[in-house]
Amino acid sequence: MGSEHWRSRHEEGRGMRAAVGDLVRAAAEPGWSRLVARHAQVGAHTRTTVLRDGHEITTDDLAEDLATPFQRLRELSHRAGEGTWLTCELAFVPGSRGYTGQVDPHVRPFEHVPAEAALTELTLFPRDEPPGWLLDALPTAPPLGLPVSYGGDYDRWRRNEPPPPSLPITGELSYLPEATMTARAFEHSWEYGQPTVFLLERPGDPQAGHLLFSHHRKTFWMSRHGMRGSGEGLRAVTLDDRTLRLELSPRTADTLETETAFEIHLDLPEETVGDLRTALSAVLRAVTPAPDLSGL
């Protein structure tokens, strides 16, 4: 989790939720239909619960592992004068990298809130208007909050693109990765010995949604419009009639904001599909480690 090069708090926040999903999937016995991770925290006082189809499967080790991404999510969600959330619930279903959930910054998460927990909470995540139960738990007057900015120093975005949205501290959460795209145009180039393949949703519009594959000096790169790219994690590629299917590692799918099985419907002339097959083969056959190729 700490080795990623995130571009914004929004992007890292999605990565932390994905990390929660990976941890609870790994802990659950196969055959589940719904996993729910619930985390409540005030200061350093925490409680984490994981449910598999309504039955708790939490262990001390699992709760400890989940503490890191949940704590980072609290930091990334912090807003000046408003604090951060105190409870978070994330739900996952089989066959998807997506999730739903909710966060809340007001509801009392524990029947008893230790005084030191309340003091730590308002010191690290100061609020202009703390809820009454949090003030009541304080051993003294409200503390002076520390001048903190969790992740704001790298909350940046590209030129001519809007800033990423803030992470919510209240309300519902939802992430639905893309599972398909339709390519209505195909472009390729061979400049400087670097084969590059573009699949575009709208002809002649490079700002429209697109998928790029390139290869240069043993380095492979794949990206989607507006997303971070990846040079790894392409496990299999199948070109079947008018559909290009990609099998991606979970990490690469999260980077591209897709499911691990991603389909590109080819709304292209038959001869263009043939050109795509030739160009894509030139890019992919030199990739290391080589993905499984079918129809190329």
Which domains, ranges and CATH numbers included, belong to the chain?
9-175 (3.30.500.20), 178-294 (no CATH)
State residue 25 phi and psi, 5-degree precision: -65, -45
Q: Provide the angle, in degrees to the nearest 10, between the axes of the packed helices 60-77 and 9-27.
A: 170
| pLDDT (0 to 100) of residue 145 | 58
Residue 71 exposed, middle or buried by CB count within 10 Å (0-12, 13-18, 19+): middle
Query: Rounded distance, CA 188 to CA 196, Å?
Result: 5
- Number of alpha helices (DSSP H) and beta strands (DSSP E) in the chain: 6, 15
pLDDT in tens, 14-60: 999 999 999 999 999 999 999 999 999 999 999 999 999 999 999 99
167 φψ region: left (φ > 0), alpha (ψ -120 to 50), beta (else): beta
Contact indicator for 6, 154 with CB cutoff of 8 Å: yes
Where do we find the tokens 């573009």? Answer: 198
Query: Rounded distance, CA 123 to CA 241, Å?
Result: 60
pLDDT in tens, 178-196: 999 999 988 888 765 678 8
pLDDT in tens, 75-115: 999 998 899 999 999 999 999 999 999 999 999 999 999 99
State residue 164 phi and psi, 5-degree precision: -65, 150
pLDDT in tens, 140-182: 766 665 656 666 555 555 555 666 777 889 999 999 999 999 9
pTM of the shown model: 0.86
State residue 176 phi and psi, 5-degree precision: -120, 100
